[in-house]
Amino acid sequence: MGSDDAVVVEVGGWVWFDGGLWEVGSLDARSVTLYRAGQVRRVSLSMLDAGTLRSEGAEVADGGSDPMLGVELAQLSKESRARLELEVEVLAGISSAVSQGASQQPLLVEGAERLGTTARTLRRRLVVFRDQGLAGLVDSRSTGQRSAKVDRRWVSACQRAMREATFESTPSKKRILMQAKALLEDSYGVGVVPIPTYQTGCRWIERLAKGKYTFGSAKNRRSVAERPQGFFGKLRPDAPGEVVMLDTTPLDVFAMEPVTHRWVSVELTIALDLYSRCVPGLRLSPVSTRSADVAAVLFEVISFQKDDRSDKDSGASEQPAWAPSCVPQTIVVDHGKQYLSAHVLGACGRLGINVQPAIPGKPTDKAAVERFFRSLRESLLENLDGYKGPDVYSRGKDVELKGFYYVSELEDLIRQWINDYYHQRPHSGLVVPELPSERFSPSEVWDIGVQKGGVLRIPASNELRYEFLEVKWRAIHHYGVEIDGRTYNGSAVNMYRGSRSSYVGAQAGKWPFFIDSYDIRWVYFRDPDTEEFSSLEWEHAKSLNGPLSAEAAAYAKEVASSGDRRFDPETEMRRLLLEWSRGEVLDRRSKTLARRTAARAEPLVAAPVTSAKRNGKRKSPHAPGAVVDLLTRRVHAETMIENIEAEVFEEYYKDRPEGAGMETLD
């Protein structure tokens, strides 16, 4: 420490403070009393800074360019630091002995032999040590900052060229170097700025591109460019259910739909509680995600699901549901139309749920959800048959030839993985402030949050599930209720046939009916007097063996009415389902509708009739619910055809044993 690195403050002395010269009147351990031209100021010692305080006649030390001693020592290697410590020990011993009256020259000779140097060199080092201390002995060649050997203007041009390539196709290093050279020639002229060699330029742009994926994945490059450039803020909820994030991603695994027996892409929609990282709701959708799927996920979030293991005899009935449930305060969603539809916003408004759209192009807004998708892929999906990798470059050969899962089976596997593995393992991102060194699982943090907060929002009534169904406004006629060409009837509307409702506005006089777009066999009506929900059955529902979506019904009507024949709803619905069961689906839209219908295991609201139960332990992949009956019929029909063909040939050869003139063409 030099003489300018400290300021002496004493009573009667003068100091330069706050732009003027002050006399020190009194001094204690915490404050100083200063006098100047009739002014008195009492200043705490914490306010006195070397940059604003200096003794009379002293210059303010400019230490901005001086390196810090701790930084210099940290740059030394172990060998250099050990030699420096030995040198300090020798020089300190010589200084101490000389101050006590010993002769300096013999000590220098002895010390030089110990250090392996000359006495003359050691004398110079002793002078530096007395003047500058330990900092003067540090070898500047092994410390400090390395100066750039290329022109800074060339570096700036390379950085600009890489920024311009952020949203373009992945460039090569040669292209970046050529663009940087062109920028320099346009700005300063040809040959003004020195250009490094190609090898040196490649080393520099590799250093400049580190962490930016300039020469790597274009997707990662855009993601890095769109993330916040400064400090990463975080949403820090204080209780479970305060912030729930919803997101959808295509799964990196093939699935099979049971009707047409073709590969189908699936999308996973989840709801993730940010406080505990629990997943209280999910839905696996074939082809694409719709607003009805998002509403189904929200319905699952607020509904306490029964644990499938409760049927066992091991006392599992006392175990909690597979995922915690509550009514969230805020949900964070994308700007997709399936999230911001009137269907979803209406249900959230009825339950008092705030909807917060994420910032477009900012994947960091839902980083916790993206990390969950990665854990799902690395822990489960890549171990399944049919895994195709995160992109086409990671896809294996003949992935489709391996085993497969139906959509409903794949959803069951994901639920089981979440329940038995993800919710139970310690999560590195979850920390309880009272126990910072411990690691807790999502289910444990959920329980801790509920117990600490003492508050949990739950649905006030089971009838709130109808809020997640689409609303159709219709009049009640004497023959029933007509929705999209389908007639529904039931005793619940007997008192209101031909009457107008008390609703006003755009739907004045009409009645609201709730319908599940994945199962249009029933609609639901709320009695305005009793406020109870009742089901109205479609007049042709009994002719169907399974759920029928509104999209499939509309397409069947379109196909039937396109010809020169009269449209009969019952006949066309039977024909459509029969074609799907036989695999006679030809055009693209029919295949898509078949996949949606076959993959949907059960409707959002349970049907008022007894539904088919799933088989127990399966021996081969199967479809759920009513689709199983369709596949069984297909096998039965194929067997009947084979039997009929055998009988035809048998009868033919019985009358014509010679078999002349009989050929079979395939």
The domains of the chain are located at 3-55, 69-133, 152-226, 243-453
Residue among 637, 591, 597, 626 nearest 261 (CA): 591
CA distance 410 to 623: 11
Per-residue pLDDT of 424-472, as tens digits, reads: 999 988 888 888 888 999 999 998 888 887 777 777 777 777 888 888 9
CA distance 56 to 39: 18
Can you give the pLDDT at residue 572? Answer: 58
CB of 71 within 8 A of CB of 55? no
- Enter the DSSP assignment of 255: E
CA distance 491 to 489: 7
At 312, phi and psi to the nearest 5? -75, 165
CA distance 95 to 102: 10
For residue 18, the tally of other CB atoms under 10 A from its CB is: 13
The amino acid sitting at 314 is: S
In the three-class reduction of DSSP (H, G, I as helix; E, B as strand; rest coil), residue 595 is classed as helix
CB of 26 within 8 A of CB of 32? yes
Is CATH 2.30.30.60 the classification given to domain 3-55?
yes
Long-range contacts formed by 632-639: CB under 8 A, 24+ apart: 633/581, 634/581, 634/582, 634/583, 637/582
C-alpha distances out from residue 398 to 199, 403, 620, 653, Å: 42, 11, 21, 45
CB under 8 Å to 347, separation ≥6 — which residues? 295, 298, 353, 467, 468
Q: For the domain 243-453, what is the CATH code?
A: 3.30.420.10
Residue among 84, 175, 173, 70 nearest 129 (CA): 84
CB of 328 within 8 A of CB of 241? yes
For residue 292 the two structure tokens come to 């009805």
For residue 88 the two structure tokens come to 């300090």
CB of 285 within 8 A of CB of 295? no
Per-residue pLDDT of 541-571, as tens digits, reads: 887 777 777 776 776 666 666 655 455 555 6
CB of 284 within 8 A of CB of 268? yes
Can you give the pLDDT at residue 614? Answer: 37
312 torsion bin: left (phi>0), alpha (psi -120 to 50), beta (else): beta
Per-residue pLDDT of 133-182, as tens digits, reads: 777 888 766 665 555 678 889 999 999 999 999 989 999 999 999 999 99
The amino acid sitting at 421 is: Y
Q: Which helix (H) or strand (E) holds 24?
A: strand 20-27
**Helix %, strand %, coil % of the chain (to 5):** 45, 15, 40
Q: How many CA atoms lie within 13 A of 515 on its CB side?
A: 28
The amino acid sitting at 632 is: T
Which residue numbers in the chain have pLDDT < 50?
50-51, 55-65, 307-322, 565, 601, 609-631, 633, 660-661, 663-666
CA distance 497 to 168: 63
Q: Would you say the C-alpha torsion 655, 657, 660, 662 has a positive or negative sign?
A: positive
End-to-end CA distance of the chain: 100
Q: Would you say the C-alpha torsion 69, 74, 77, 83 has a positive or negative sign?
A: positive
Can you give the pLDDT at residue 317? Answer: 42
CA distance 417 to 253: 15
Q: Would you say the C-alpha torsion 357, 360, 366, 369 has a positive or negative sign?
A: positive
CA distance 36 to 25: 10
CB of 458 within 8 A of CB of 328? no
Q: How many CA atoms lie within 13 A of 292 on its CB side?
A: 22
For residue 630 the two structure tokens come to 């369709």
pTM over cut 0.85:
no
Q: Mark out the alpha helices in 381-487 (DSSP H runs).
A: 407-417, 442-453
CA distance 576 to 554: 11
CB of 521 within 8 A of CB of 547? yes
> 482 has which bridge partners?
487
CA angle 467, 468, 469 (to 5 degrees): 95
Quickly list DSSP for 283-300: EEEESS--HHHHHHHHHH
Q: Which helix (H) or strand (E) holds 569?
A: helix 569-582
191 torsion bin: left (phi>0), alpha (psi -120 to 50), beta (else): left
Burial class (CB in 10 A: 0-12, 13-18, 19+), 333: buried
